[in-house]
Structure 1
Amino acid sequence: MSDSRPNQALALELRGIDKRFGDVHANNNINLQVPKGTVHGIIGENGAGKSTLMNIIYGFYEADQGDILVGGQICHIPNSREAIAAGIGMVHQHFMLVDNFTVLENVVLGAEDGAMLNVSLRKARKELQRLAHEYQLDVPLDATIDELPVGLQQRVEILKALYRGAKVLILDEPTGVLTPQETDHLFRILHSLRDQGVTILLITHKLREILAITDNVSVMRQGQMVGHVKTSETSKEELAELMVGRKVRLKVEKQDATPGEVLLSTEKLTYTDSRGVDMLKAVDLEIRAGEVVGVAGVSGNGQSELMEVLAGILEPTKGEVKIGSNRITADTPSSAKLVREMKVGHVPEDRLSMGLVKNFSAEESAILGIQEQPRFNGQWLSKRKDITEYCQGLMEEWDVRPRNPKLRSSLFSGGNQQKLIIAREVDQDPDVLMIGQPTRGVDIGAIEYIHKRIIDMRDQGKGVLLVSVELDEILALSDRIIVMFDGQIVGEVAADKANERILGMMMANVIPDELKQADTAGEAL
């Protein structure tokens, strides 16, 4: 099926693109047509070949065979410089910016007009002001990158591409680090770009976003293109089935919770960082057996610090944490090792810096934090065979691909890294599981499985603390939802009484009228 429209010019066309890495057939005879001035989604599971294909278009890789046509003309794109010259820009999932350079310096870097830098900067300032006004991309040009929130950093990357003349713009998982508000603004920017004739290629796992923003969608599976559809003529269910090759349950199935005893609690918990800023302010929280407590909030409002204090990574400044009969205070601090021994599991929000070691093998990452257990250690040496078999078992159970315990952790896709970390923590059978951003960068089939395992743990009488920027994930999994703003819990609502509007208002520190009325009724009783 062609995804072009009659009499509509193509901005980009791929014919028979093929790419192998040894025995891995990453792209297998890929054909794609992208009409000019459209937003075109590319979706598929982890390892489907999406990133390889985009890297071929942008010149990071060269195809073994096949043609790339830009504006109807065959283009040879051996490197990113030639891609830029052909009018192709790319915003990577992990931004490529110099933190201590200003916005203006980052945009000009590599695109200077001769030796006189001041001339380039003056020219760039004028052009960037025009682009910012035209595409709603306002950014303080003289601010350094490390002063900007992640949403503004992304705008800088888009401005860089537009400044270099991009007419085809590739965005790789652009909302993975954005708040819902920042995502909404990004979509307005993309619509504005499309209306001005820019063609957008959007790579994402999020079907809701695909349906909200794209005109057409192409689906990849196991290195092949398996479907092209108009967005207006498809559904989440159809796209999920095309991606996975089977029907996928998109709705989390669960019974009502039956909460039991308090497993973990905090009282007036406060954490002050090295700058003297209170990141947590007198937080009172309870997690009971047999319930999932969701934590919603705009990123940076204390959710990360809450998890790290509870996990023993950060020490509380005031107040206390109770885990069973154990008390953790500023005077009696703990550690990540001791908290783990208290039967608390922790899946960190940042898997790359805290969940695994990129240069370790998968089997070494699979025993991080539990490496001192006797089953992994002999009298003098570690039990390498037992470690390998342990990792192999986790890989089989959680469908971690490729199933190679010896492979370096950094060579797995983000979703497969995540599955390995969650598998390690769940396998320890903790009484409390704290899990941050459980499905960030994870494909639809794995999301279904991870959600099921979280509910299974709840039903086994475990307590789960869930931190996620995905409001639909919070709503689907949680029994109670607390909302954080500026380091404080500003409200709590039962999941069956919550929706995105209510949570969004609470995240902005506005209590919805229906919750005020409920409080008033409770006081009257």
Structure 2
Amino acid sequence: MLLHSCPGECAIKASSSPHAVELRGITKRFPGVVANHDIDITVARGTVHALVGENGAGKSTLMKILYGMQKPDEGTIAVDGEQVSFSNPGDAIARGIGMVHQHFMLADYLTVLENVVLGSEKLYGIGDRARTKIKEISDAYGLGIRPDAHVEDLGVADRQRVEILKVLYRGARTLILDEPTAVLVPQEVDALFDNLRELKAEGLTVIFISHKLGEVLSVADDITVIRRGTTVGTADPASTTPKQLAELMVGSELPSPETRESTVTDVPMLQVKEVRLTATDPDGVVRAVLDSIDFTIHKGEVLGIAGVEGNGQSELVEAIMGMRHLDTGVLTLDGQDISQTPTRKRREDGIGVIPEDRHRHGLLLEAPLWENRILGHVTEKPNSRGSFLDLKAARADTERIVREYDVRTPGIDVTAASLSGGNQQKLIVGREMSHNPKLLIAAHPTRGVDVGAQAQIWDQIREARREGLAVLLISADLDELIGLSDTLRVMYRGRLVADADPATITPEELGSAMTGAASGHLEAPAESDGDADDPRDGGEDR
């Protein structure tokens, strides 16, 4: 049978050796919510075991329990056949379990070697022995890590490999990878999966958490599905489709970001003219982080910006929001020059923003949900009435957002930190869309959210676009960029170096341009029959 349910105990594969990890009857309760209930998972040694489930299903809590960050209320953990109890991550590391978090835990201004040995200086010192060990691990697993490189000079994929090397350096035999492909282009995903196969070939075990079901099916040996805090089934990757896995996860089909109808008007909403922004690096050298940026977004248009993270996308968002002062250039919103306008006024004038880092720029994690609903819109209705906050109206509107955007929470008085990442994202999207913005800056709007929440966020963007919303979309999900965008631009080292037609470009071609391998107008490979209407033959672009 393709999909196997787990009404009681999941079937355990016969094995002559102990399993890498066995979780039995794991239950974890928090005030007002049961995060995990009677979870059973068996992870075979030397495999890639995927853990999938919708936002709030309990995946993160379960992995925090396995990594010693939380203690279960009930249930047992066995590692290599021996029952264990972890009081902290140090206990888990001592038993060979390492975790690579979705948000990297690296110090930019330190070298790779310094980041790797930090906190583990007693293992191999901080000099030549440590450098030799790092090279040895890097070579053994094909990671290609240079110990003396500065982390700030590394791309996202290299940083992730440093994180993997960190846990291997500490002796991990079981690796937990939380959303490891969220910020990678297709070529980098392929390279990561090659690394995982190397790890597996050497007898290491990987627990792989992801919402990208196609990737899960391509790399996993076993799949466990969690829904509403408990295990609901297992799937065989060899005979399961993304559609079937999505239905097991959330009871619905895999959504598509594809937008078929055009709603683009000829009315400019945001005009960015010859914008230049410089920054001073730690050595005192001034460099351009944005250089001659020039584009226009019209009402009803989604302009997608593709680029490997760290190539100026964050600075572009901050410049448009007024968080950075331009060296030169002009920003115009709906016909008004906003180049010198304060951030709050830009918000009041109709700019909504879904920030790339929801923890740093989108939420007050220790504040309740209703306070987070006010964040960034303190002077606007329903949050305020005249010069005073209207807390009753703000609370009522928070209830509406929770209901309409399916934010899984026991109430609006719990802290934002108590929500899963995907539910935090839905709260932010609901807050920003509730003010009917003229321009929405959407930076990675569906990062870390499940297929059901993805569909809802895409639908909200498409619906607002039909009503004239202009959208600046920045995303590492190339299918999302291609599917939602009316226009595509590629950013590389602070410049817009290429443009592409979303109707013809492939994720692989777009990913290649993001690494600086192409510039100008990107075209799909010519069809063998030589279509006379092909834009490469002088036809008109979309």
TM-score, normalised via structure 2 length = 0.88
- Write the distance in 1 (CA, Å) between the matches of 2:99 and 2:360: 25
CA apart distance, 1:226: 0.6
Q: Do 2:182 and 2:477's aligned partners in 1 also have CA atoms closer than 8 Å? A: no
Q: Do 1:337 and 1:369's aligned partners in 2 also have CA atoms closer than 8 Å? A: yes
Query: Is 1:135 aligned with 2:141?
Result: yes
Q: CA RMSD in A?
A: 2.6
Q: Do 2:422 and 2:448's aligned partners in 1 also have CA atoms closer than 8 Å? A: yes
Of 302, 324, 338 in structure 2, the residue corresponding to residue 292 of structure 1 is 302
Q: Do 2:156 and 2:309's aligned partners in 1 also have CA atoms closer than 8 Å? A: no
Aligned twin of 1:499: 506
- Write the distance in 1 (CA, Å) between the matches of 2:468 and 2:166: 51
Gaps of 5+ in 2: 5-9, 527-533
Aligned twin of 1:258: 263
Task: Count residues with an aligned counterpart.
Answer: 516
Aligned twin of 1:405: 412
CA apart distance, 1:30: 1.4
Query: Is 1:376 aligned with 2:389?
Result: no
Aligned twin of 2:164: 158
Aligned twin of 1:477: 484
Is the alpha carbon distance of 1:113 and 1:438 closer, same or farther for their aligned partners in structure 2, counting shifts above 3 Å?
closer
CA apart distance, 1:359: 3.1
Is the alpha carbon distance of 1:509 and 1:147 closer, same or farther for their aligned partners in structure 2, counting shifts above 3 Å?
closer
Secondary structure of 1:52's counterpart equals helix
Aligned twin of 1:221: 227
Deviation sequence 1:175-206 (CA, Å, 0-9, x none) = 23444443332222111101111010011222
Of 84, 90, 94 in structure 2, the residue corresponding to residue 81 of structure 1 is 90
Greater shift after overlay, 439-448 or 54-63?
54-63
- Write the distance in 2 (CA, Å) between the matches of 1:111 and 1:335: 45
Is the alpha carbon distance of 1:97 and 1:253 closer, same or farther for their aligned partners in structure 2, counting shifts above 3 Å?
closer
Aligned counterparts, 1:11-50, within 5 A: 11-50=20-59
Q: Do 1:248 and 1:448's aligned partners in 2 also have CA atoms closer than 8 Å? A: no
- Write the distance in 2 (CA, Å) between the matches of 1:256 and 1:421: 27
Aligned twin of 1:510: 518
Aligned counterparts, 1:36-115, within 5 A: 36-97=45-106, 101-113=110-122
Q: Please tell me the residue identity of whatever aligns with 1:352.
A: H
Aligned twin of 2:217: 211
Is the alpha carbon distance of 1:341 and 1:109 closer, same or farther for their aligned partners in structure 2, counting shifts above 3 Å?
closer
Query: Is 1:415 aligned with 2:404?
Result: no
Q: Do 1:392 and 1:403's aligned partners in 2 also have CA atoms closer than 8 Å? A: no
CA apart distance, 1:468: 0.5
CA apart distance, 1:452: 0.6
User: Could you say which structure has the higher helix fraction?
Assistant: 1
Aligned twin of 1:305: 315
- Write the distance in 2 (CA, Å) between the matches of 1:76 and 1:456: 50
Aligned twin of 2:246: 240
Q: Please tell me the residue identity of whatever aligns with 2:471.
A: V
- Write the distance in 2 (CA, Å) between the matches of 1:449 and 1:280: 33
% identical equivalent positions: 40
Gaps of 5+ in 1: none
Q: Please tell me the residue identity of whatever aligns with 1:360.
A: A
Deviation sequence 1:132-172 (CA, Å, 0-9, x none) = 10112232323454554443333233223222322111112
CA apart distance, 1:456: 0.5
Query: Is 1:487 aligned with 2:494?
Result: yes
Q: Do 1:4 and 1:34's aligned partners in 2 also have CA atoms closer than 8 Å? A: no
Query: Is 1:356 aligned with 2:381?
Result: no
Greater shift after overlay, 374-383 or 178-187?
374-383
Q: Do 1:105 and 1:121's aligned partners in 2 also have CA atoms closer than 8 Å? A: no
TM-score, normalised via structure 1 length = 0.91
CA apart distance, 1:430: 1.6
